[in-house]
């Protein structure tokens, strides 16, 4: 028997998600539950992978199976492709394992041709509907399958409307639409050079190929990168008998959520349009009616629909997002999936489902995407300002958050302006999937048309961008880049603020305040803390950052970059005096000025962390970044150092390096200038002694971290200075203080010789920024210039500086942990590169047995949740004992990463 590439809906179930995609698996599950689903079949994700393996061709074996299943579908429905009595029409839709709303292609009304349109017209007694279906199909097929731009067809529609003296599409008659269908076909032929396909089987093959191809379109690639969806998954294709929502006034279509996707409130929320097809609702072209109004329009159908909603939510134990169609008063379910939701809604829904006894606490923790929390951690509008500022208008609160910025009118401008560091609000009549990159670059999105389920709303919610939609009060002149609202004219660059939680639109820039972790957010964080095994620290260089991070749940500082403490005005001068010194004496003189500044800062950090661990890293600056470039600064430095401007310029020139990232930085600085290491040790130890004295109940135990070590002798050299200086300080103060000296593992050689390094290092902290840079040989500062080409060619799917390369860099880390702990079993290991705040990378860190991750303050809650999810999926406790060996930990790694 040949390999099975196709499943009827009744042959599948929700467990076959990897094979059937989310949509296909759920259509199968709904069929099994006995719900009214128009029947069809799913072509598997494996067929998609095969299509790409075969050089973007559907091979004869799969093609034969497709036709075999068309026969089966014809048998089941009693309809036939191209039949003169009972023609079969289908929709062809994508459906990946993870939902990617609006990113891939869909074709509706497939199977219609010159003969079929006449049959539909006669049988329905509704020629207008039949010709509308036909012209829509030609338009969609031409656009999606053959990539003839939509605009040519829209121009023909506009011309027809002008000729007939009407404004709306719905005012066109059956004859007008018939005429349009012929014009469309002629347009197709002129662009493609062949007649429009009339054989439904040819149409079907074209449509399936188009859906497979759309897996690789640019917007899908961007979406996948943002949502950690691997390219290798592929999409399934669902071929489903059409149900018609546009056959008359007892027909309609809609989308609904079982809970409010913006707030999480438990109530049916959705929209529908009578006499319309699904694309009309989602595209936001017509503003739909609220779902509750269906109770008046079609009470029985509404009652049936409500029951189905309850069945589905109970079945999936999660909020459902459903699409339905009503054909001549008969309800059909076209889709159900776990609905996309805002971060606020996700937290409330998870807590409510626990309280309703539907899910466990662990399931609640697992159901929240940690990346979504980011939106909650950004500033909200100041409540006082909200009270005193009157909004210009109010529209739909489609995706929450506070956004303020300058108005732009195209996605391209949004991208460009944002790249120039400007904050922008993208204002559009309606958005389309092509706008995704602009939507991502914008602080907020404002649309004139569209409801809560329009593309703009769904996509904005998915990416956590504030969105206010359906503001029909705006009079828009999109082409000329201006609009009016509440009597005021807004042009490109004008300032505007959006409150995505209320739908309010304000003139100008509204002030904001920092976010807090409370309510449902606080409760989920508590649950996360209950289930996680790894600690979460923060990368903080200032007391303010440290306090913020502590409020957000940080349990220590994993990295304080001491060079960042000198960025401030007034401090940089002393630093410059230090690096532009010719002699040890000169340098020591400058260091003596720096010492009290550093000590003061460290005291504040210890105070902020209240006895939690604080890791302070020795200076690691590429020196040239700190030298003055302005003439006035050079003169000031010359004066302070009693040198001539020419002498200072000569020193600056001597500091120039061809490859500063691999230059005179990290521990190399302490090797050349041991006095720097001495000064920093004094500052760290004196600060610790002082704070410990002030707070006897805390345990202040400094962790001194030596950066950029590649050879154990380097580490020993610096460590000896630290130990000698620290012990002298402790003795002189007659204090009792313990401290640790450890190292960053950020050079591949350090990982490769981790057993040697561990003889000196009391802890390891993985600096995966440098470790990635040096493992790949990609400059951290320049990789952005060529990574785009790597994505396009599929060499990379993600930025390795954002998402850890577990295959290469990860292997070095795993090895280093194992080798380090073999020498010093009690040593603690953490990560403080950017990956410490990335959920996927955190899962890996958990699997190799790291003790903590450290990330920027705003990512602390994300890391807490990701660490909990990692431990729930792959508990550290192997059969009652904590995993000690990497062999045990390796079991976990395979479990997690096999899908890669
Ligand atoms: C690192 O390299 O990962 C690191 C944390 O250090 P820095 O980014 O300061 O080089
Ligand atoms: Mg580094």
Ligand nearest to the backbone CA of 541: 1
* Alpha carbon nearest to ligand 1 atom 1, residue: 767
Between the CA of 226 and the centroid of ligand 1 the distance, in Å, is: 23
Chain segment 327-363, per-residue pLDDT in tens: 999 999 999 999 988 888 999 999 999 999 999 999 9
Burial of residue 488, with CB atoms counted within 10 A of its CB: 0-12 exposed, 13-18 middle, 19 or more buried: exposed
* Sequence-distant contacts of 896-899: CB under 8 A, at least 24 apart: 896/843, 896/844, 896/847, 896/870, 897/806, 897/844, 897/847, 899/230
Between the CA of 743 and the centroid of ligand 2 the distance, in Å, is: 11
Structure confidence at residue 326 (pLDDT)? 96
Tokens of 543: 């007391």
Between the CA of 727 and the centroid of ligand 2 the distance, in Å, is: 27
**Which range among 145-154, 874-883, 884-893 shows the weakest confidence by mean pLDDT?**
884-893
Chain segment 523-560, per-residue pLDDT in tens: 999 999 999 999 999 999 888 889 989 999 999 999 99
Can you tell me the distance from the alpha carbon of 555 to that of 540, in angstroms, rounded to the nearest whole number?
Answer: 12
Q: What percent of the chain has pLDDT over 90?
A: 70
Q: What is the DSSP code (8-state) at residue 291?
A: G
Tokens of 759: 């003889």
| 879 has pLDDT over 70 | no
Average pLDDT of span 474-493: 95
Contacts of 457 (CB under 8 A, 6+ apart): 396, 398, 399, 450, 451, 467, 469
Can you tell me the distance from the alpha carbon of 238 to that of 524, in angstroms, rounded to the nearest whole number?
Answer: 37
Can you tell me the distance from the alpha carbon of 205 to that of 321, in angstroms, rounded to the nearest whole number?
Answer: 29
Structure confidence at residue 454 (pLDDT)? 66
- pLDDT band (50, 70, 90) for residue 883: very low
Average pLDDT of span 386-403: 87
Structure confidence at residue 693 (pLDDT)? 97
Can you tell me the distance from the alpha carbon of 900 to that of 895, in angstroms, rounded to the nearest whole number?
Answer: 11
SS3 (DSSP) at 119:
helix
Structure confidence at residue 285 (pLDDT)? 60
Burial of residue 151, with CB atoms counted within 10 A of its CB: 0-12 exposed, 13-18 middle, 19 or more buried: exposed
| 888 has pLDDT over 70 | no
Active site residues: 455, 832
Packed helices 150-164 and 174-192: angle between N→C axes, nearest 10 degrees: 150
Candidate of 615, 660, 707 to mutate for ligand 1, largest count of ligand atoms within 8 Å of Cβ: 707
| 885 has pLDDT over 50 | no
Helices (H) then strands (E): counts for the chain: 35, 33
Can you tell me the distance from the alpha carbon of 283 to that of 280, in angstroms, rounded to the nearest whole number?
Answer: 5
Chain segment 417-448, per-residue pLDDT in tens: 999 999 999 999 887 767 878 988 999 999 98
* Alpha carbon nearest to ligand 1 atom 3, residue: 767
| φ/ψ of residue 98, rounded to 5 | -105, 140
* Alpha carbon nearest to ligand 1 atom 4, residue: 767
SS3 (DSSP) at 253:
strand
Can you tell me the distance from the alpha carbon of 853 to that of 438, in angstroms, rounded to the nearest whole number?
Answer: 32
Chain segment 775-829, per-residue pLDDT in tens: 999 988 788 889 889 998 989 988 899 899 999 999 999 999 999 999 999 999 9
Quickly tell me which residue has 């600690």 as its tokens: 535
Quickly tell me which residue has 């640019």 as its tokens: 218
**Which ligand 1 atom sits nearest the alpha carbon of residue 559?**
5
Chain segment 67-77, per-residue pLDDT in tens: 999 999 999 99
Asked whether 558 and 765 are in contact (CB, 8 A), the reply is yes
| 893 has pLDDT over 50 | no
Burial of residue 482, with CB atoms counted within 10 A of its CB: 0-12 exposed, 13-18 middle, 19 or more buried: middle
Can you give the pTM of this predicted structure?
A: 0.83
Structure confidence at residue 895 (pLDDT)? 34
Region of 234 on the Ramachandran plot (φ > 0 left; ψ -120 to 50 alpha; else beta): left
**Which ligand 1 atom sits nearest the alpha carbon of residue 767?**
3
Quickly tell me which residue has 């002393």 as its tokens: 574
Between the CA of 619 and the centroid of ligand 1 the distance, in Å, is: 11
Concatenated DSSP letters for 620-674? Answer: ---GGGTS--SHHHHHHHHHHHT--HHHHHHHHHHH--SSGGGSS-THHHHHH-H
Length of the chain: 900
Structure confidence at residue 1 (pLDDT)? 61
Compute the mean pLDDT over every residue in the chain, rounded to the nearest whole number. 90
Between the CA of 746 and the centroid of ligand 1 the distance, in Å, is: 8
Between the CA of 750 and the centroid of ligand 1 the distance, in Å, is: 14
Q: Are strands 482-485 and 495-499 parallel, antiparallel or unpaired?
A: unpaired
Q: What is the DSSP code (8-state) at residue 144?
A: I
| 470 has pLDDT over 60 | yes
Candidate of 833, 834, 836, 855 to mutate for ligand 1, largest count of ligand atoms within 8 Å of Cβ: 833
Q: What is the DSSP code (8-state) at residue 534?
A: S
| 897 has pLDDT over 50 | no
> How much helix, strand and coil, in percent to the nearest 5, is found in the chain?
50, 15, 30
Asked whether 286 and 303 are in contact (CB, 8 A), the reply is no
Can you tell me the distance from the alpha carbon of 440 to that of 414, in angstroms, rounded to the nearest whole number?
Answer: 9
| 450 has pLDDT over 80 | no
Quickly tell me which residue has 């991070």 as its tokens: 549
Structure confidence at residue 580 (pLDDT)? 87
Candidate of 541, 742, 767 to mutate for ligand 1, largest count of ligand atoms within 8 Å of Cβ: 767
Candidate of 560, 743, 771, 832 to mutate for ligand 1, largest count of ligand atoms within 8 Å of Cβ: 832
Burial of residue 574, with CB atoms counted within 10 A of its CB: 0-12 exposed, 13-18 middle, 19 or more buried: middle
* Alpha carbon nearest to ligand 1 atom 9, residue: 561
| φ/ψ of residue 402, rounded to 5 | -110, 125
SS3 (DSSP) at 92:
strand
Structure confidence at residue 878 (pLDDT)? 46
Can you tell me the distance from the alpha carbon of 116 to that of 119, in angstroms, rounded to the nearest whole number?
Answer: 5
**Which ligand 1 atom sits nearest the alpha carbon of residue 539?**
5
Between the CA of 747 and the centroid of ligand 2 the distance, in Å, is: 9
Chain segment 647-703, per-residue pLDDT in tens: 999 988 888 888 888 899 999 999 999 999 999 999 999 999 999 999 999 999 999
Tokens of 865: 């949740």
Chain segment 130-159, per-residue pLDDT in tens: 999 999 999 999 999 998 888 899 899 999
Chain segment 274-316, per-residue pLDDT in tens: 988 876 666 556 678 999 999 999 999 999 999 999 999 999 9
Distance of CA 403 to the CA centre of its chain: 18
**Which ligand 1 atom sits nearest the alpha carbon of residue 766?**
3
| 751 has pLDDT over 80 | yes
Can you tell me the distance from the alpha carbon of 736 to that of 259, in angstroms, rounded to the nearest whole number?
Answer: 58
Nearest residue to 435 via CA among 490, 403, 478, 371:
478
**Which ligand 1 atom sits nearest the alpha carbon of residue 769?**
3
Distance of CA 13 to the CA centre of its chain: 28
Can you tell me the distance from the alpha carbon of 478 to that of 474, in angstroms, rounded to the nearest whole number?
Answer: 11
- pLDDT band (50, 70, 90) for residue 464: low
Task: Choose between 57 and 465: higher pLDDT.
Answer: 57
- pLDDT band (50, 70, 90) for residue 40: very high
- pLDDT band (50, 70, 90) for residue 411: very high
Chain segment 243-267, per-residue pLDDT in tens: 999 888 899 999 999 999 988 999 9
Residues with CB under 6 A from ligand 1: 559, 561, 620, 746, 767-770, 832-833
């Amino acid at each position: 028997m040949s390999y099975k590439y196709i499943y009827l809906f009744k042959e599948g179930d929700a467990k076959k998600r990897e094979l059937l995609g989310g949509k296909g698996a759920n259509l199968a599950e709904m069929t099994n539950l006995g719900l009214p689903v128009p029947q069809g079949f799913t072509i598997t994700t494996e067929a998609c992978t095969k299509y790409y393996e075969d050089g973007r061709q559907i091979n004869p074996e799969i093609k034969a199976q497709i036709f075999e299943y068309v026969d089966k579908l014809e048998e089941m429905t009693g309809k036939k492709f191209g039949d003169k009595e009972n023609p079969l029409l289908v929709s062809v839709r994508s459906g990946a394992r993870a939902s990617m709303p609006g990113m891939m292609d869909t074709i509706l009304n497939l199977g219609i041709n010159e003969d079929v349109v006449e049959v539909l017209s006669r049988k329905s007694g509704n020629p207008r509907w039949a010709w509308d279906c036909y012209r829509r199909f030609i338009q969609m097929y031409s656009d999606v399958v053959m990539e003839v731009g939509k605009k040519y067809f829209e121009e023909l529609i506009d011309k027809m409307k002008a000729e007939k003296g009407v404004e709306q599409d719905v005012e066109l008659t059956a004859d007008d639409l018939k005429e349009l269908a012929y014009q469309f076909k002629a347009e197709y032929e002129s662009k493609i050079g062949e007649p429009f396909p009339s054989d439904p089987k040819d149409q079907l093959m074209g449509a399936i190929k188009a859906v497979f191809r759309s897996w690789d379109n640019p917007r899908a690639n961007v979406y996948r990168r943002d949502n950690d969806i691997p390219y290798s998954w592929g999409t399934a294709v669902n071929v489903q008998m059409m149900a018609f929502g546009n056959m008359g006034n007892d027909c309609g279509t809609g989308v609904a959520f079982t809970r409010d996707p913006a707030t999480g409130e438990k109530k049916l929320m959705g929209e529908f349009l009578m006499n319309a097809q699904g694309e009309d609702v989602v595209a936001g072209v017509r503003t739909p009616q609220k779902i509750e109004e269906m109770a008046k329009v079609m009470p029985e159908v509404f009652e049936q629909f409500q029951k189905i909603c309850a069945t589905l939510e109970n079945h999936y134990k999660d909020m459902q997002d459903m699409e339905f169609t009503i054909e001549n008063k008969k309800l059909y379910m076209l889709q159900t999936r776990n609905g996309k939701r805002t971060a606020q809604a996700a937290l409330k829904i998870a807590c409510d489902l626990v309280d309703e006894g539907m899910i466990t606490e662990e399931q609640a923790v697992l159901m929240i995407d940690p990346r979504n929390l980011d939106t909650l951690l950004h500033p909200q509008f100041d409540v006082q300002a909200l009270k005193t500022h009157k909004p210009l208008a109010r529209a739909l609160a489609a995706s929450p958050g506070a956004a303020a910025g300058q108005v732009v009118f195209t996605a391209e401008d949004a991208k460009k302006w944002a790249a120039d560091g400007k904050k922008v609000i993208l204002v559009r009549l309606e958005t389309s999937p092509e706008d995704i990159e602009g939507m991502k670059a914008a602080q907020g999105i404002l649309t004139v048309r569209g409801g809560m389920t329009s593309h703009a709303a769904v996509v904005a919610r998915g990416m956590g961008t504030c969105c206010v939609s359906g503001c029909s009060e705006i009079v828009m002149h999109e082409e000329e880049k201006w609009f009016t609202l509440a009597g005021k004219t807004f042009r490109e660059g004008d300032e505007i603020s959006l409150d995505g939680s209320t739908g309010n639109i304000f003139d100008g820039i509204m002030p904001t305040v920092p976010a807090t972790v409370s309510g449902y957010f606080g409760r989920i964080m508590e649950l996360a803390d209950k289930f996680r095994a790894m600690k979460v620290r923060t990368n903080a260089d200032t007391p303010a950052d440290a306090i913020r991070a502590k409020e957000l749940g940080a349990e220590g500082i994993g990295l304080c970059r001491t060079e960042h403490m000198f960025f401030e005005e007034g401090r940089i001068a002393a630093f410059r005096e230090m690096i532009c010194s010719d002699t040890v004496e000169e340098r020591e003189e400058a260091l003596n000025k720096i010492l009290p500044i550093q000590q003061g800062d460290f005291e504040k950090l210890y105070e902020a962390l209240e006895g939690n661990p604080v890791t302070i890293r020795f200076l690691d600056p590429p020196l040239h970044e700190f030298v003055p470039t302005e003439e006035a600064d050079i003169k000031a430095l010359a004066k302070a150092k009693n040198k001539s401007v020419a002498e200072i310029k000569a020193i600056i020139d001597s500091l120039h390096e061809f490859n500063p990232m691999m230059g005179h930085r990290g521990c190399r600085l302490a090797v050349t200038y041991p006095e720097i290491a001495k000064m920093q040790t004094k500052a760290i130890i004196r600060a610790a002694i002082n704070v410990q004295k002030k707070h006897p109940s805390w345990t202040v135990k400094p962790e001194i971290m030596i950066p950029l070590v590649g050879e154990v002798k380097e580490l020993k050299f610096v460590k000896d200075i630290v130990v000698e200086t620290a012990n002298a300080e402790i003795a002189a103060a007659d204090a009792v203080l313990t401290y640790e000296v450890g190292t960053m593992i950020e050079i591949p050689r350090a990982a490769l010789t981790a057993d040697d390094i561990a003889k000196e290092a009391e802890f390891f902290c993985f600096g995966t920024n440098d470790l990635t840079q040096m493992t790949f040989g990609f400059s951290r500062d320049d990789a952005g210039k060529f990574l785009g080409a790597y994505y396009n060619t599929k060499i990379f799917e993600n930025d390795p500086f954002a998402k850890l390369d577990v295959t290469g860099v990860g292997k070095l880390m795993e090895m280093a942990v194992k080798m380090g702990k073999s020498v010093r079993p009690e040593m603690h290991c953490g990560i403080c590169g950017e990956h410490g705040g990335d959920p996927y990378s955190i899962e890996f860190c958990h699997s190799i047995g790291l003790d903590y991750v450290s990330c920027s303050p705003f990512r602390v809650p994300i890391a807490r949740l990701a660490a909990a999810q990692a431990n729930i999926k792959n508990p550290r406790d192997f059969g009652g004992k904590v995993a000690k060996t990497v062999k045990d930990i390796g079991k976990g790694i395979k479990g997690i990463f096999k899908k890669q």
